[in-house]
Amino acid sequence: MWKLPVAIAVAGSTLLGIAGANSSPAQAAAISRAADPIVLTGAQIPTMAGGVRTNIVGFRWTGAAWVQLPVQIDERAIVNFAKIYNNPSASFYGSSPSLVNQLVYTSSTTFTGADPDSKFDANDELVFMARDSGLAAPTGTLPVGVTAGTGVEIHVTDPITPANEGFVYLFRSAVGSGLKQSAGKTYVRYSFKLTSGAYKTTYNLTGGSNPENSLVTAASYKQHFSNRWLSDQLNVTAPGATKVDILDRNKVLFAPNICVRSEDTFDATGPYGSAEGAFIVNKAGPVRAIRSYIGANSGPSTQRTHVFYDQREDVRTELRVHSIGSVMDLLDYSPAAAGMTYRNSANPSGVTIDGTNDSLNNAASSWEQVTGPQGTITHVYSTGGTFTPTAIGYYLDSTTPSDPQCTGDAFAYGTSGNYINSTLPCTDPGLNCVDSLNFTRSMFFDSPGGTAASASQHAVETAQPLLASTAAWQ
Ligand SMILES: [Ca+2]
Ligand SMILES: [Ca+2]
Ligand SMILES: [Ca+2]
C-alpha cells in the first residue's frame, strides 16, 4: 500500500496550476472512492512519528481556503494474548495464549491495556477518509491555529485511475488553538454495551455467555451485536434504501451439516465445552470504530477484528486453531431480505432471494452482492497466510432448509459465503504451530440498484487500494 514519494516532483509541476486562483481545464479529478480510507502508520510519516499524538490535525485546501477534516489515531502494540485474557498462565484445550504475541489495537478499557508508548509511534495508525482530500495547497499560506514548520503533505492517488488525486495536510496545532483532531465530526458511532456491566469487572473470560446490546451506526448502515461473535442485525441506510434489518445472522460453522461449532458455541458455555473469550478493543470514531476480540472454543487465540467506516466495514478473521477439517463463514439473511437479488463472481446474473432454492455454479467467489429496495451490500473477499486453502461457494435459499440451521431462525434466506472444504493445518501459535491463515470480508453499503458491474468495481478497487505518499511541507 505504501509508495515512496518518487512521483511527488513530477506531480508537483502540474499542481501549481491546480492551486492557482484560475481553475484549469487540465485540473486533476478528485479521488472518487467515497467509502475508502487512507491508513498510514507512524513509520510512514517520519516527521510526525515519535511526537505527541493528540495535537496532529488535518486540513484540505479547497482552492481558496483551508478546511479542517477529521483525523484519527489508533494506537497499536505487540501484546501477549495471555495479558488480554488477564491470566499469565491461561490455557484452553491445551493451547496457551501466552505463546501468542501479535500487533493489536490497544485499549485501557480492556486487559489489552494502553500502548506502552503513548506517543504517535511507528506502529500506530493515522486514518482519514480519502474523499476528505482536496487540492494541492500553495506555499505561503497556513491554516489558522497550526504551528509553522510542522506541515506534512499527503498525496493520495488511485492506481486504477491515475489521473485522480487528492492532498491532505497534517500539522501540529498550536497551544491554545482550540483545534480538535476530530474537527468536530463523528462519521461512525459505536455503542459497546454489555448486559452485565463494565467489561473489566463483569466479563466472563473463561466461560460465556456474555450478552451484549451493541450497535454500530454509520451513514450507510447499522449493525447490531448480541454477543462477541453474534452479529444479528444489519440495516442498509444509504439513500433510497428501505432500511429494514435484512440479517438473521453471520454464521460461523465447520460445515453445512455440522452444528458442533458455531458462533453460539464460541460465545456460550454449552454442551461442547467452555467458551473462553476476550475483547482486545472496542473503540469509536471520529473516522472509524474498531471491535476486536479473541476466543473461539478450541481456538482461544482466534481473532476477529471489525473496522467500521461510514460506508464500508472490513472484517478480518485470523484463524489460530489446531488442524480442522473445514470452515465456513456465512451471511444468513432474514425473511425481510425476500425479493433481493443475490449474485456473486461465479454467478453474476444472480437469483432472487425468496425462500425457494436455486442452482448456482458453486465455484468460490471473490465477491458476493445482495441488492434490492432494501439497499445493496457487496462483500469482497481476500485471504492471506502461509497456505492457500481450497474453497467452494455455498448457497441455500429455503424456508424448509435441507441443511440444519444450527443457530438463528428456522429459515435459510440467501444463506451464502465461501466454504473452505479441505483440511486446514494447525494455525495456532499457542500450540507452537507456524502456519497461518487470515481472511477478510470487506462490506460496502450502497443505495438500491447494485449490479454485477458495481460489485466487480468494489472488488477491483479493494484489491488495489489507494496509494499515499508523504513529504515534509512548509
Ligand atoms: Ca504503538
Ligand atoms: Ca503510541
Ligand atoms: Ca436463518
Question: Residue 126: which of 197, 65, 76 has the closest Cα?
Answer: 76
pLDDT in tens, 344-381: 999 999 999 999 999 999 999 999 999 999 999 999 99
| 329 has a pLDDT exceeding 80 | yes
| Å from CA of 155 to ligand 1 middle | 24
pLDDT in tens, 140-157: 999 999 999 999 999 999
* Mean pLDDT of the residues in the chain: 93
* Under 8 Å between Cβ of 169 and 59: yes
268: which 3 cell numbers?
456460550
Angle subtended at Cα 161 by Cα 160 and Cα 166, rounded to the nearest 5 degrees = 115
- Whether 353 is in a domain gets the answer yes
* Under 8 Å between Cβ of 328 and 360: no
Question: What CA–CA distance (Å, rounded) separates 295 from 275?
Answer: 7
Question: What CA–CA distance (Å, rounded) separates 212 from 226?
Answer: 5
| Å from CA of 299 to ligand 3 middle | 25
| Å from CA of 121 to ligand 1 middle | 5
Q: What confidence category does residue 285 fall into, taking pLDDT thresholds of 50, 70 and 90?
A: confident
- Whether 86 is in a domain gets the answer no
| Å from CA of 433 to ligand 3 middle | 35
Residue 180 burial by Cβ neighbours in a 10 Å radius (0-12, 13-18, 19+): middle
Question: What CA–CA distance (Å, rounded) separates 333 from 467?
Answer: 35
| Å from CA of 82 to ligand 1 middle | 19
Percent of the chain with pLDDT over 90: 91
| Å from CA of 456 to ligand 3 middle | 27
213 and 149: one domain? Answer: no
450: CATH: 2.70.98
User: What integer pLDDT is reported at residue 274 of this predicted model?
Assistant: 78
Question: What CA–CA distance (Å, rounded) separates 356 from 468?
Answer: 47
User: For 454-466, what is the mean pLDDT?
Assistant: 98
- Whether 433 is in a domain gets the answer yes
10 and 50: one domain? Answer: yes
222 and 283: one domain? Answer: yes
- Whether 323 is in a domain gets the answer yes
| Å from CA of 249 to ligand 2 middle | 36
Q: What confidence category does residue 28 fall into, taking pLDDT thresholds of 50, 70 and 90?
A: confident
pLDDT in tens, 461-472: 999 999 999 999
Question: Residue 324: which of 407, 435, 228, 227 has the closest Cα?
Answer: 435
User: What integer pLDDT is reported at residue 27 of this predicted model?
Assistant: 62
- Whether 403 is in a domain gets the answer yes
Return contacts of 2-7, CB within 8 angstroms, 24+ apart: 2/44, 2/467, 2/468, 3/157, 3/467, 3/468, 3/469, 4/469, 5/155, 5/469, 5/470, 5/471, 6/469, 7/155, 7/157, 7/469
| Å from CA of 127 to ligand 2 middle | 14
289 and 151: one domain? Answer: no
Ligand 2 is an ion; residues with CB less than 5 A from it: 75, 115, 117, 121, 124
Give me the numbers of helices (H) and strands (E) for the chain, helices first please.
5, 27
| 59 has a pLDDT exceeding 90 | yes
170 and 213: one domain? Answer: no
Residue 157, helix vs strand vs coil:
strand
263 and 147: one domain? Answer: no
Amino acid in the structure at residue 8: I
Question: What CA–CA distance (Å, rounded) separates 396 from 73?
Answer: 41
Question: What CA–CA distance (Å, rounded) separates 59 from 146?
Answer: 10
| 19 has a pLDDT exceeding 70 | no
pLDDT in tens, 288-321: 999 999 999 999 999 999 999 999 999 999 999 9
User: For 323-327, what is the mean pLDDT?
Assistant: 97
| 7 has a pLDDT exceeding 50 | no
Q: Give the range among 17-26, 77-86, 90-99, 445-454 with minimum mean pLDDT.
A: 17-26
152 and 248: one domain? Answer: no
371 and 412: one domain? Answer: yes
User: For 195-213, what is the mean pLDDT?
Assistant: 96
355 to each of 325, 400, 401, 450, how far by Cα in Å? 29, 8, 9, 21
pLDDT in tens, 252-281: 999 998 999 999 999 997 766 779 999 999
Question: What CA–CA distance (Å, rounded) separates 377 from 34?
Answer: 15
| Å from CA of 121 to ligand 2 middle | 5
Please list, in sequence order, all residues whose beta carbon lies within 8 angstroms of the beta carbon of residue 46, skipping any fewer than 6 positions away: 470
170 and 209: one domain? Answer: no
Question: What CA–CA distance (Å, rounded) separates 163 from 25?
Answer: 13
| Å from CA of 436 to ligand 1 middle | 23
| Å from CA of 214 to ligand 3 middle | 21
- Whether 83 is in a domain gets the answer no
Ligand 1 is an ion; residues with CB less than 5 A from it: 76-77, 115, 121, 123-124
Q: Which numbered ligand comes closest to the C-alpha of 117?
A: 2
| Å from CA of 301 to ligand 3 middle | 28
| Å from CA of 51 to ligand 2 middle | 9
| Å from CA of 105 to ligand 1 middle | 8
| 11 has a pLDDT exceeding 80 | no
Q: Which numbered ligand comes closest to the C-alpha of 119?
A: 2
| 251 has a pLDDT exceeding 50 | yes
Range of the domain at 57: 5-71+128-178
| 445 has a pLDDT exceeding 90 | yes
CA 380 to the chain's CA centroid: 12
147 and 229: one domain? Answer: no
| 47 has a pLDDT exceeding 50 | yes
Predicted TM-score of the model (pTM): 0.94
367 and 247: one domain? Answer: yes
174 and 264: one domain? Answer: no
Question: Residue 448: which of 376, 349, 377, 352 has the closest Cα?
Answer: 376
Other Cβ atoms within 10 Å of 196 Cβ, number: 13
| Å from CA of 123 to ligand 2 middle | 7
- Whether 173 is in a domain gets the answer yes
Q: What confidence category does residue 238 fall into, taking pLDDT thresholds of 50, 70 and 90?
A: very high
Domain count, the chain: 2
Cis ω on the peptide bond leading into residue 447 (within 30° of 0)?
no
- Whether 23 is in a domain gets the answer yes
Q: How is residue 5 annotated by DSSP?
A: G
Q: Which numbered ligand comes closest to the C-alpha of 112?
A: 1
Question: What CA–CA distance (Å, rounded) separates 107 from 128?
Answer: 20
